[in-house]
Structure 1
Amino acid sequence: MTLPIAHVNWLAIIAATASAFVLGGLWYGPLFKKAWCREAGIDPDAKPGHPGLTFAIAIVCAFLAATIFAVLMPPQASAADGFGVGFVVGLFFVSMSFGINYAFAQRSLKLWMIDSGYHIIQFILYGVIIGAWK
């Protein structure tokens, strides 16, 4: 299978990657930090060392996910199409994969919903940005 990389918009991919960080800052910050930390067993007031490696891994993963998402989106897709595809990918691929892992790890439903919710919105944003930015 050859991936049709010629139709991708690299600026849209970079914007989609950045959107994951903006969303994450809000989602795991003021919106759900305390609940997420409680469910994940993390002290919300702990001051970890410099998170450079964590952020580097996160940006590479977000960039790769946005790139492959853009490659697989049809070139004629609109923002509305991107919304639908992003919702399907976030809910049925990412969230359900987390569901399997969280079930076996005996993690809470609340943690699954927080983490899944982030990724559903992440891929919706990817789809809207990539679909809208021609």
Structure 2
Amino acid sequence: MFDVLGDLNWVGILIGFIAFTLLGGVWFAVLFPRAYNRSLGRDPQAKPEGSPLFFAGPALTCLVITLTSAIMMAALEIDTPGNALLFGFIVGVGYLTANTVNIAINPNFPRPLLYAAISGGYNLIGSLIVSVILLAF
């Protein structure tokens, strides 16, 4: 097998984590803030409250996802761009987006499919980006 932490490319993990986190900021604050607010039943112009959890929570989850993807890619010996994209797609759709849909289809989300499309799309694209970055570094 491999030494779980020693064989990982920490530069790739750092860059993938930063890219995934920045994508979230752009995705939810620039590209889809109105639609995201609508999916949650909020006024489309609403601004989120800037608590420490609001900023640190998503970044921490991006780090966990990036680190987990790095471990899985190393264990699976993914070493080509095509396989990295396939891995990112499988993780993005099969785990991240599917889990997002599952979370959204409870009675607390007034527009669950809109929420799932916005958040699931972010997770899919983020997973693809992370997988390519992990391979490249």
TM-score, normalising length from structure 2? 0.83
Mean Cα deviation higher: 79-88 or 113-122: 79-88
Q: CA RMSD in A?
A: 2.3
Structure 1, unaligned runs of 5 or more: none
Is 1:81 the equivalent of 2:76?
A: no
Q: In 1, distance between residues paired with 2:44 and 2:38?
A: 8
Q: In 2, distance between residues paired with 1:89 and 1:64?
A: 13
Indicate the residue corresponding to 1:116 in structure 2: 120
Q: 1:61 to 1:113 in 2, by over 3 A?
A: same
> Cα deviations across residues 49-73 of structure 1 (Å, max 9, x unaligned)?
4333221122222112111110110
Mean Cα deviation higher: 48-57 or 88-97: 48-57
Q: 1:43 to 1:68 in 2, by over 3 A?
A: same
Runs of 4+ with deviation above 4 angstroms? none
TM-score, normalising length from structure 1? 0.85
Q: How does 1:120-131 map to 2 (within 5 A)?
A: 120-131=124-135
Percent of residue pairs identical: 27
Q: Which of 74, 96, 99 is the aligned partner of 1:97? A: 99
| 1:80–1:131 CA contact under 8 A, matched in 2 | no
Q: Which of 128, 132, 136 is the aligned partner of 1:132? A: 136
Q: In 1, distance between residues paired with 2:30 and 2:57?
A: 23
